[in-house]
Amino acid sequence: MKRRPYLALDISRLSKLVNANTQDKVLLEAVLFESQFRKTDAAKQLKRRVEQLMGSSDHGSKVIEGVLPPRACLIQNHETIVKKSRKITEVSESMTRGC
């Protein structure tokens, strides 16, 4: 199953992220994937916006093998933070259940 690096972000934060990174195809694809799991009107509007941005983005940009775009590194860092947060939550919940 594909990872959801933006699972922890609410729609307003996702919208701000998209607005600040309108040309970042990797980020837009990740937000578009995440928006498939959201059902609110704001989420549907964000999905349409991302689809529009991806349709108008420059598809002629070169990709160098083995070199991640700058935003891709941020996504990987965010995934690491989310994993650590989940582990802390799991440990905390298990300690709470034990009482």
Question: pLDDT tens for residues 4-57?
Answer: 888 999 999 999 999 999 999 999 999 999 999 999 999 999 999 999 998 875
| In the chain, where the domains are located | 11-97
How far from 29 is each of 45, 51, 87, CA to CA, in Å?
Answer: 15, 9, 26
Please name the residues in contact with 68: beta carbons below 8 A apart, sequence gap of 6 or more.
76
Is-contact 75 5, C-beta < 8 A? Answer: yes
pTM for the complete prediction?
Answer: 0.56
Q: Nearest to residue 72, comparing CAs of 34, 32, 29, 13?
A: 29
